A and B are shown apart, each in its own frame.
Chain A
Amino acid sequence: MADLFSSRGLRRWLPWLLLVAAGLILPVLLPPFRLNLLGRFLSLGIVALGIDLIWGFTGMLSLGQGIFFALGGYALGMYLQLDSLEPGQLPEFFSLYGVTTLPGFWQPFNSPLFTFFAIWVIPALVAGVLGYLVFRNRIKGVYFSILTQAALLVFFNFFNGQQKLINGTNGLKTDTARIFGALVGSDAMQRNLFWLTLALVVLSWLLCRWLTSGRFGDALVAIRDDEPRLRFTGYNPTAYKTLVFAVAGAMAGVSGALYTVQSGIISPQFMAVPFSIEMVIWVAVGGRGTLIGAVLGAVVINYAKSLVSEQLPETWLFIQGGLFLLVVTALPDGIVGWWRAGGPGRIQAMVGWPPVAPTYPALDLDPQVLAEQRQLESRPLSAGSASATTPQQPPAGEP
């Protein structure tokens, strides 16, 4: 704590202080409607984090995360349907289809404890089994993407058709349900859900950081870059891929549950093909392999979407498509990747506005020198050698 006020300590703690401040101030500052939107988009950041884990780090582009997202949403939705009933009653929609006894698979969702686990364990299991079968057979790349999309369609059609089991196309409403005696759709409850979402986004980010920073994370990157090579080094990639795919599935489930209670309904639409593709776009725009970019992409794009849709509903699809094209062509590492590579500095230099107090403007802005500096900074101290310090000295013959 001694270094809290030193500049390094500040840089380390500042994001967390800002985060807490945002958590406290935003609920006061924003009208309930906007706060609810922000909470929803933040919850989408969790599914995006999972996609970054499996795609950005491990190289598996899943177009079927909607499956796991919806499974989490349905788990919580079913619990809420049951929880707000008088004893002996059935959820209302059942009477429309002449169902008089609760289907067996609904029973466990009477229990809040079961539901708590079902939200993330069921999606994780489904992802784990699906992933294991696919990875064991060495299906990768485009074939993996196509397969996940096909699985998504299967789930989508199945849920759409099951009126008697889960109300089919209409889905399950949650905003009029009660949780612990309070109305889910009420402002107070929505504020609590915003805080819960914020906390879970941070937790998910920490989990992903832990998974990607050590030797395990190196193995994921190695799978992404050259999977066969890793096999010859004695690794079984199937185990790694199944594990991270299951983790991403669990995160999608949590994301879906949070999104459901903040938008008031869960329906098969959450398993529609375009939605799962949009999830990938959030990560691409925010920055693959950056983690924070996934959250940023999800929040920024969805906020932009809601703002644009309020004004000019027809234009959003074009804007989103254009954004994606821009990223693919101009910013392949997304916004965060561009930022980390010194993008803002380059723009400053381009408009002839040098950064604060460069000692030798021509030298300090030289891309070559900047690249060398970055290399030096990234080099661990233990590996330092005498030659490591020389490039930092200015050339002798300074004009």
Chain B
Amino acid sequence: MNVLELREVSVSFDGFLALNDLNLQLAPGELRAVIGPNGAGKTTFLDVITGKVKPTRGDVLFRGRSIVGQSEHRISRLGIGRKFQAPRVFQNLSPRRNLELAIKGDHGPATLLFGSLSASQRDRVQQLLGVVGLEPHAGQPAGGLSHGQKQWLEIAMLLAQDPDLLLVDEPVAGLSDEETDRTAELLKQLAGDHTVLVIEHDMDFIRNLDCPVTVLHEGHVLCEGSMDAVQSDHRVIEVYLGVDDPEVQSVETIA
């Protein structure tokens, strides 16, 4: 059974179709990259899965069950985690406290008020701080972190949630080359135990991920396949470069 399945999903914003008859399947443990020009509907696609936007038509299935109409926190509790395009961490809380909020477990008011973190939860937080190299800054407000550190803190928050399905929106925007490589390694490690869907613009990064690629255009799946196949697809070249020039063999250079 597919972990995630979108069936003919359309989203209309006042008549404008941000998603148009979108079909997509993710198998358990799969790592998948989604690319597409700005405005292709990539973020909207995540909004539909995570319950932020209701599809105008179509159905979204998680492990075979429809999740359309459920609230964001319920979908999150089912095991779908999300990292946002612009890093969204809680600026006034320290990285440690950000992670302690995100850590897997009951998130009801009574537990937060009367319960305390278990030893294993504490260890996990400490471990994650190490993984993303934020130990030296664990106690300062996260608002003071650099852009890259915030990106990583948000990835760590996603890991703390320990979802089955990870939706990662442009994780390497603003990261250095070295950080980008490490992020790719991290995501590749996660795949297998988790199902991971990554949205990115950075072609080197996608190539590094070495996984099937889905190209989105005007809210619709344009084509699917390996990075090489996708890059030499003439429809993709046309969409990215706005030309259908037989001279252009690949979109390698556009990143």
Contact = CB atoms under 8 A, between A and B. Distances in A.
Interface of A: 211, 214-216, 218-219, 221-222, 225-226, 228-236, 239-240, 243, 375, 378-380, 382-383, 385, 387-388
Given A231-B72, A379-B139, A379-B140, A214 B88 contact: no
B236 interface: no
Interface in B82-124: 82, 84, 88, 90-93, 96-97, 100-102, 107-109, 112-113, 117
B107 A380 contact: no
Nearest to A381: B139
B161 interface: yes
B76 A214 contact: no
Contact of A214 (B50, B71, B113): B113
A98 B138 CA distance: 70
A52 to B, nearest CB: 15
B93 A234 contact: no
Contacts of A229: 84, 88, 90
Given A231-B72, A231-B73, A232-B76, A218 B107 contact: no
B147 interface: no
Given A231-B76, A233-B102, 5 more contacts: A215-B112, A218-B90, A233-B161, A378-B140, A380-B139
Interface in B107-160: 107-109, 112-113, 117, 126, 129, 135-136, 138-140, 144, 157
B54 to A, nearest CB: 14
The winner among A216, A231, A234 for most chain B CB atoms within 10 A is A234
A233 B107 contact: yes
A221 B90 contact: yes
B77 interface: yes
A383 B157 CA distance: 18
A218 B142 CA distance: 13
Given A379-B138, A385-B136, A218 B97 contact: yes
B52 interface: yes
Given A229-B90, A375-B140, A378-B140, A216 B73 contact: no
Interface residues of B, number: 36
Contact of B76 (A226, A233, A243, A388): A233
A221 B92 contact: yes
* B interface: dominant SS: helix
Contact of A234 (B135, B138, B161): B161
A388 B137 CA distance: 10
Interface of B: 50, 52, 71-73, 76-77, 81-82, 84, 88, 90-93, 96-97, 100-102, 107-109, 112-113, 117, 126, 129, 135-136, 138-140, 144, 157, 161
Q: Taking each of A211, A226, A243, which has the highest tally of chain B beta carbons within 10 Å of its own beta carbon?
A: A226
Contacts of B97: 215, 218
A225 B92 contact: yes
B161 A383 contact: no
A383 to B, nearest CB: 4
Contacts of A231: 71-73, 76
A31 to B, nearest CB: 43
Given A211-B113, A215-B100, A378 B139 contact: yes
Contacts of A215: 97, 100-101, 112, 117
Nearest to B114: A216
Given A216-B113, A219-B101, A222-B101, A388 B73 contact: no
Nearest to B80: A232
A131 to B, nearest CB: 13
A388 B135 CA distance: 11
A225 B101 contact: no
Contacts of A219: 101, 109, 112
B150 to A, nearest CB: 12
Contacts of B101: 215, 218-219, 222, 230, 233, 235
Pairs A-B, 10 closest by C-beta atoms = A379-B139, A383-B138, A231-B72, A234-B76, A216-B112, A216-B113, A215-B112, A236-B73, A229-B88, A222-B90
A154 B67 CA distance: 40
Contact of B139 (A216, A239, A383): A383
Nearest to B91: A225
A219 B107 CA distance: 9
A235 B77 CA distance: 9
B93 A226 contact: no
B90 A225 contact: yes
